[in-house]
Amino acid sequence: MTGALRIGFIPLVDAAALIVAVDNGFTAAEGLDVTLVREVSWSNVRDKLNIGLFDAAHLLAPVAIASSLGIGHVKVPIAAPFNLGVNGNAITVSLALHAELMAYLEGDRFDPMATALALARVVARRRAAGAEPLTFAMTFPFSTHNYQLRFWMAAGGVDPDEDVRLVVLPPPFMVDSLANGHVDGFCVGAPWNSIAVDQGRGHILHFVSDIFGHAAEKVLALRQNWAEKNPDVVAALVRACARAADFIGQNHAEAAAILARPERVGVTAEMIQRTLDGRLKISSDGTVRESDRYILVGREGAARPDPVQAAWLYAQMVRWGQTPLSADALRTAMGVFRQDIYEAILGPATSAGAAKDGIGAFAGPPFDPADIIGHLNAFTIGRWKA
């Protein structure tokens, strides 16, 4: 078994299982010598994985699918045998935009439909006044952040391609861009939403778990041909990550201390523990929200790759004009999430807390991977063409 591995990651809390697996000695116990390489952008991680500079990576779930389909870049089939995180993102807006949204809000401020409708009213007012469109940042075109923002906005009647601007920013640049007025809001993973709040620069409007009950976020990504040639290494790496996920679930404080190291996530352990606890300060006035579904690392079967999640992500790529609809492409997308490898290594697992359709969207009909056309036709805003 080849034991020396280079694995890329972005400094986010949902890299926790991978970081803890290495730093707590779980990979070494499996006979693996792993070097973790911290990166700043998802394109760097993707490209270094694709060309073989990385053996594995902490990767956006949609990027694994896009790479396997050859959308937006060269085609490199990816295998994802382990989910590093489910949920974990949030939508944060500037203090000024939050005040404006609350002025137009009709209903519960934690109801994503109420805030989406308020956003539509703000957009209409700005258009009537001849103001510049609002600008929102997300981390990558092929990202859950992009699709989560779009789904939320469109549910309220805001066309994310016509009514606002969406821009790409690496996670570490989000807060400064909000502070400088370059963006009015963003969707990103932890800890960057909390950093914006702690610095008095933003207000967390929604946890993504308000919008989707169960959203696959990051995966352990491997080149498919490499995984096929190194099954023992893959098994050892998956076992180590599973052991780390179990450790994190029982030891939030210890895990937070590991992640806080400068060469890992590099923020305070207290902030990381808030994330793992699902207890986040959402406003600089100290208001705290709690959710046991804010981020799932391993628990409730979250580590098991679910092809239904892959189908949903592919459907969003089609909805927003990133790729045409194809039965072959759908099969390829679903095949990226390697539930078979996971269960061969760790045994069967169920997503006990997941929504009945595996997604749990706040709007629209239940998702059926066998009826992507029905899913797309349920929405009036999108770029999909039959």
Model confidence pLDDT, tens digit, residues 54-81: 999 999 999 999 999 999 889 999 999 9
- Please name which of 13, 5, 132 lies closest in space to residue 84, comparing C-alpha atoms: 13
Instruction: Identify the H or E element spanning 78.
Output: strand 78-87
Q: What is the pLDDT of residue 35?
A: 98
Write down the residue that tokens 């702690």 correspond to: 198
- Classify residue 249 as exposed, middle or buried by CB count within 10 Å of its CB (0-12, 13-18, 19+): middle
The full set of domains in the chain, from first to last, is: 4-87+215-267+297-364 (3.40.190.10), 89-211 (3.40.190.10)
Reply yes or no on whether the pLDDT at 143 is more than 90. Answer: yes
Q: In the chain, pLDDT over 90 holds for what percent of residues? A: 94
Question: Which pTM does this prediction carry?
Answer: 0.96
Q: What is the pLDDT of residues 181-229, one digit of tens each?
A: 999 999 999 999 999 999 999 999 999 999 999 999 999 999 999 999 9
Q: What mean pLDDT value characterizes the chain?
A: 96
Q: Helix, strand, coil % (nearest 5) of the chain? A: 45, 20, 35
In whole angstroms, what is the distance from residue 11 CA to residue 343 CA?
Answer: 28
Separation between Cα atoms, residue 281 and residue 292, nearest integer Å: 14
